[in-house]
Structure 1
């Protein structure tokens, strides 16, 4: 499924709303910074070497520059973490779909474009340092998250429910979700001597999916 369904929107509504808020925040931030930058650059002597220009900016506009770089740090880090957790949440659901990549790369392109606007200013060393620091923090977070959620081999036991999903309106939809989830995660659990099985339960609100670990047994499916 490559289109954004109503179910997907409801499930990830918080991510989409935060993403829209961040896009508007970036726009407001760039407008505000550009007004400040025009005033500041008016007083900078363009005929001297860049290092002299940077010393002038640091001497007379350090407070304002620090405020804008701090806000940039918060916006950039928020944007990176939003994309990261949106990706990780989708990954836990099963195979990463095309719509997920479209959302991540689209939002990432907007964030990168906003950063490029700042990189062409006289204050670019400040923003570049923040840019690098933000990605270092993201990488550290990724390494820790991967260790906690993927590299811990002793966190599962036999017949443990590892995932609940639903309700789904159609049985076929519940079966498709279960098969996609198991197909994506099967190699990882097989490596740790587990297989995955799913159970679909019919309730008044719809079809509920529960996925379990199964140790040293053949994979099976059930419906109740």
Structure 2
């Protein structure tokens, strides 16, 4: 669901924002790359006091407001996937580009995450979802395209890209992503149905037959018992 008022607020915020409003993440202890086993050594301490299940589900904060606790988590682990998702949900729920207690805007947290860990596919996917929810389709497409280049065999990314290209009526691209998503085993038929409704779906060609080696296909013959040597009688 789009939030047009939030999208306008985001645009106004970004127009007047500079680097000082969204400074880059500086690694400190505990903290770092959420996808790094070494950096995650201090994660449990941060989560225990600032990112409990109640915070993640936006039920209540631990040390203050939800925005403050999620912000603290992201200030230590900028690409913490679940914390990014929770911050995005909080912004959407409150229709606010910068929820109360958060040090930065929702978009800033994603920008910091991607700048620090550009390899992080999940962070880009979550950001793309948030951008779509706020009506920023073009920027969302950029993030999903980048995620697709990083993880071309990720079926969910291919599926979501297909949906975006259907929306843009770029059916050739949509079909290509759909074929790849389903070849990778994506289970939902929604994209296929949309392409069918537009008259743009083509069934994938059948898989080529596997050539069978004639020698290998020949049934195994039972072993022949060796002839008995002459007895000399």
TM-score tier (shorter): under 0.3
Q: TM-score, normalised by structure 2?
A: 0.27
Q: TM-score, normalised by structure 1?
A: 0.28
Instruction: State which structure, 1 or 2, has the greater radius of gyration over its C-alpha atoms.
Output: 2
